[in-house]
Amino acid sequence: MKPLSSIFFTAISILLGLLFTYALSANTVEFANVPILYFVTFYIFILQWIVFLPSYLNQTEHYFDLTGSMTYITSILLVIFFAQEIDFRDVLICSLIIIWASRLGLFLSKRVANAGEDTRFVHIKPNFYQFLMTWTIQGLWVLMTAGMAFAALSSKNKLGLDAFAVIGALLWLIGFIIEVISDKQKTNFKSNPLNQGKFIQEGLWSFSRHPNYFGEIVLWIGIAVIAFPVIESWQYFALLSPIFVIFLLTKVSGINLLERQGMKRWGDNEEYKNYIKNTSVLIPLPPKN
């Protein structure tokens, strides 16, 4: 990617983040007459850039996923710090995101450490502007994905726990369990020397080619359901959060990327062709045959 293109997408990411923050800031708590979500947004992007610099100088991506997870945790806590009032809904949202981010960050960091490198970054790391763009997009990813949580936590509206909280928590739990189990099954599969060069098609992976992504989508929908009753006006733009997660995982860096890699690696394998033909792409369903 040319430097100008990388700079353009970096600027667009920042602009989209600010516009999203502007919408979410309606009826939110302020600090020094400024909606607190602006402080959170600046913090999210600045943290990515701070970690980017030593990562570029040392040509390493080992801190990328861990930084993303830590950004979720610390930005959520930052909103809580600025908020004037905390209720059980806020505590629930905060706790669920911290649990998810902690588990995923440790899992991804350990996976990269074991593999030695993340192949996604092989051609990106040497390019200053493209690597910077990648870190900036991660900041936008955090902001957009947790948008419903940020809107709810910073909202002046406070409601007790209700059916939305219960249903949302159950959805989150279902999604989290599916994500954890599928990640564990794939890790165990890859750690077996007998499976070297093979693709996983057992456990949850026999019902879906990407059950971990399905779990992540469901858990973020759960967060959106919990947060929904306390948002209003322009904050309804926060409903883009679960839509963004679905789009990102199905059309950008998730399923599309892995499906292409799978076809390059096993496209001539009849067993893989049958797996693709008979197994649901995302939603876990019984195999066709």
Degrees to nearest 5, angle at CA 31 with 30 and 37: 60
Q: For the chain, which residues make up each domain, given as ranges? A: 3-278
CA distance 245 to 221: 9
Q: Which residue has the higher pLDDT, 129 or 3?
A: 129
Report the pLDDT value the prediction gives residue 29, as an integer from 0 to 100: 85
Q: What is the pLDDT of residues 176-187, one digit of tens each?
A: 999 999 999 999
> 115 pLDDT exceeds 70?
no
The pLDDT of 136-160, averaged and rounded, is 92
Q: CB count, 10 Å around CB of 34?
A: 10
* Confidence tier at 1 by pLDDT (50, 70, 90): low
What region does 27 belong to: left with phi over 0, alpha with psi -120 to 50, or beta? left
For residue 116, name the pLDDT band (cuts at 50, 70, 90). low
State pTM to two decimals: 0.91
10 Å CB burial of residue 126 (0-12, 13-18, 19+) is exposed
Residue range 81-110, pLDDT digits in tens? 888 788 899 999 999 999 999 998 888 777
**What pLDDT does 117 receive?**
65
Location of structure tokens 């390493």: 60
- Residue 123 CA to residue 91 CA, distance in Å, equals 41
* CA pseudo-torsion sign 61, 62, 66, 67: negative
Q: What is the secondary structure of 244-281 as a DSSP string?
A: HHHHIIIIISSHHHHHHHHHHHHTT-HHHHHHHHHSBS
Q: Distance between CA atoms of 37 and 81, rounded to whole angstroms?
A: 12
